[in-house]
Amino acid sequence: MFTGIVEELGRVAALEDQGDAVRLTIAAEVVLGDARLGDSIAVNGCCLTIATRTDEAFTADVMHETLRATGIGDLGVGDEVNLERAVTPQTRLGGHLVQGHVDATGEVRRRTPSEHWEVVEVAAPDELMPYLVPKGSITVDGVSLTVVDVLDDGFTVSLIPETLARTTLGRRQPGESVNLEADVIAKHRRRAPDHLARDPRQRLRLRLRGRRPAPTRLGVAGRHRRQRAAVQRLPRRHRRRRRAGAAVRPGRAPGVLPPHQRVRLAALAGRAPRPDGRLRRHDARDHAAVGHPRRAGRVPPCGGRGDRRGAVGLQRHRCRLPGAALVLLVRRVDLRRLDAGDVRHGPRLDRLLAGLDRRRRRRRPAAVALGLLPDGRAVRRLHRPGPLGLRRLAARVAHRAARPDTCEGDHLGMSIQDLREEQHGGVRLDPVERAIADIAAGKAVVVVDDETRENEGDIIFAAARATPELMAFTVRHSSGVICVPMPADMLERLEIPLMTPHNRDKLRTAYTVSVDARDGVSTGISAADRAHTARVLADSATEPWELTRPGHVFPLRYREGGVLVRRGHTEAAVDLARLAGLTPAGVLVEVVNDDGTMKRAPELREFADEHGLAMISIDDLVHHRRKVENHVERVALTHLPTDHGDFEAYGYRITVDGSEHVALVLGDLGGDEPVLTRVHSECLTGDVFGSQRCDCGPQLRESMDLIRAEGRGVVVYLRGHEGRGIGLVAKLQAYQLQDGGRDTVDANLDLGLPADARHYGAATQVLKDLGVHDVRLLTNNPDKVSSLETYGVHVAERVPLTPRPNGHNIDYLRTKRDRMGHDLDGLDAPADEASDQHPDDSEEQQ
């Protein structure tokens, strides 16, 4: 037994392979003071037994199972390790009780320095997440720490200068693995007898995450200790949903998801029809007033891993879909709004609900669901709102909840995975984390790009792990043209020039002169020869004279910034290799059918499943990089007095593309209370010229005034979002189309541009740099709420802004309400006023 208080930093002196074990020699001083043979010592949190000792070092035998299951196997000679002796009855107890039995390994995701401490985010496996609670204990590399925050797939801890200086955690960089051990009390509590959790409320108190569904109808429509008081606390306008005649009845929360993941999902009860036929979204305050935030709105799992009692509502309607779960939403429907989130960069998704009556769909609210059955068939249904329509929909439609986190498509009741699968014809995609692990293990993966680009899939693997067998497999299922993407500095060091100085390729693929390895090959064309050439290219010790030109392998020039600046397979291959911790060089080749035609998404999915390969999209890789990497750099800080208050102006530059953003800060952002925040997209015509075709300028000024009244807050002003990301000139071209009668969404699409090309990764990184992790967001756009939460910023409350309609923007605001899901009231203009209105603005800033 240990306490998690590190006594000394030791150093690995030697590693000796003994067949069925490895003998580890560690140089130390303090822990050897009274140590005897057979005593236990924690090495990076792993309990080892002293086999031999001297005055300067000790040895311990480590079994291969321990090497595999912990980070001990990653140690090398000279590496520092945390050391602690086992406690005795006379030992002063500090930290918390630690067994020295590593439960799992995690990965340092990011480090956020502060003035007096440093916040470290650690990714943890799913099996460890149920044991983590805020303010609970966790052991990281043998160091006893307190959990600050529990995330969807990890946690954060704060490290004081003493811990940073006296343990290895001060040197751990993002991407490095750490040993994790959960609190022993939490592990025993997790295994409490089931009979202790028969009562629904007791189930919640015991936090048996994922083992039982939440109480039925938790909230206004079901059991609650203070149900009547909760109803009375609801704003009066929300209580009217009972008189709407089409009220949404909340169902059970999914039993297969832990509570900390359930609360981040969109709520079925998030929209309810009002007596006038319109819909109103319930914000976080309303959900908090009626129970666990947002949980009441989730419908139950349908068979599969969930508790069978959780599916009773579906089974009574003869809905039995093993392995599937159900997500529903009630909203006013428009197909083109479905290009939210990362799908905005993809094709139009008009086929999503093909065959339905569009006129009927636009005339009234409807319940919509997209279903993927276990056999792969897609199910689409449209029903009128109300209990009967929802029950019919529940009986017919389900989709697999492959990933619980949601993105900008949150209001659609669809997960990130569902949106991206729909972009690729409903084909299932694998997590990026699996692809990275496979690349690191020397396996190949299949990577698909956007349908509007090449619309093809490539086999990709790391050049440093190329083998004759892997190369032969690649050649057999491809066109045979083997390419090795590499960064520019590696190509320059090897003196490999571009194939042509004037690249006229449609997608600007940067081919170089082909090469072969000079030694170790025969003709250069065989699989073994080309695998050897790929390894030679990836070897940092290779000299230019060790390559012959021309050859049978085509290096490609990687664009700095990777998939964040160019969504190509070249950049994807190098990024995957780098994320896997290998030399940033990959091997790629297009996958083809037997007749030489390109395989498309459904065929690629079959191919990947047949050969046990992970299949991901470049869009998924973009999202992963934005989520786990930090690309903002603070470059300026100055005082900025304005008509709306005295702010501190922070200047930021994005290291990937050089774009610049500004944060205006008022007051002290510290403390536990959520910070009033506005994320504002740049609008030259509205913010500067005072255009009346949009409401951007008034929203910015209102936000600054609200922050001044609050006494503290932040405005993140995002450059490059002009016209929802299409650019200033393109926005003016959209204006021209709107003068002819098109609305703001159709104008963008008619120009061949996405309806909304923005993302908020930069905003979340700016907020995290300012130490802001919980916000009250000033917006009328629910998409922005889910987007910030996707990137790790918790939105405790959405604070609405006052719409300011006039004769020039009333149709634009109605388009935002009806086609883009914004919560805007008071837009019913008189007929004579609407007759002389100008068309919509192409720029929507919420």
Q: Which residues carry out catalysis?
A: 756, 758
Could you give the angle at the alpha carbon of 569 between the alpha carbons of 567 and 570, nearest 5°?
Answer: 100
Instruction: Identify whether the C-beta of residue 639 lies closer than 8 Å to the C-beta of residue 461.
Output: no
Q: Is 192 helix (H, G, I), strand (E, B) or coil?
A: coil
Containing H/E element for 746?
Answer: helix 744-750
Tokens matching residue 815: 């388009």
Instruction: Identify whether the C-beta of residue 235 lies closer than 8 Å to the C-beta of residue 286.
Output: yes
Inter-axis angle of helices 782-790 and 761-769, nearest 10: 60
- The one-letter amino acid code at 131 reads Y
CA atoms within 13 A on the CB side of 380: 12
Find the radius of gyration of the CA atoms of the chain. 29
Measured from the Cβ of residue 375, the count of other Cβ atoms closer than 10 Å reads 7
Measured from the Cβ of residue 808, the count of other Cβ atoms closer than 10 Å reads 17
Instruction: Identify whether the C-beta of residue 484 lies closer than 8 Å to the C-beta of residue 534.
Output: yes
Q: Cα separations (Å) of 502 from 159, 264, 562, 824?
A: 52, 49, 21, 51
Nearest to 573 by CA among 537, 606, 526: 537
Measured CA to CA, the distance from residue 735 to residue 743 in angstroms comes to 9
CA atoms within 13 A on the CB side of 89: 0
Q: Cα separations (Å) of 508 from 261, 504, 566, 801?
A: 41, 7, 10, 44
Residue 557 — φ and ψ, nearest 5°? -85, 120
Q: Is 23 helix (H, G, I), strand (E, B) or coil?
A: strand
- The one-letter amino acid code at 702 reads E
DSSP characters for 307-354? -GGGGHHHHTTT---TTEE---EEE---GGGG--GGGGGS---GGGGT
Nearest to 115 by CA among 670, 675, 677, 767: 670
- Would residue 396 be called left, alpha or beta, if left means φ above 0 and alpha means ψ between -120 and 50 degrees? alpha
CA atoms within 13 A on the CB side of 504: 1
Instruction: Identify whether the C-beta of residue 324 lies closer than 8 Å to the C-beta of residue 332.
Output: no
* C-alpha 750, offset from chain centre: 31
By the 10 Å C-beta count (0-12 exposed, 13-18 middle, 19+ buried), 787 is classed as: buried
Residue 181 — φ and ψ, nearest 5°? -135, 125
Tokens matching residue 527: 């699989």
Nearest to 86 by CA among 74, 100, 73: 100
Measured CA to CA, the distance from residue 605 to residue 595 in angstroms comes to 18
Helices (H), 596-641: 601-611, 618-628
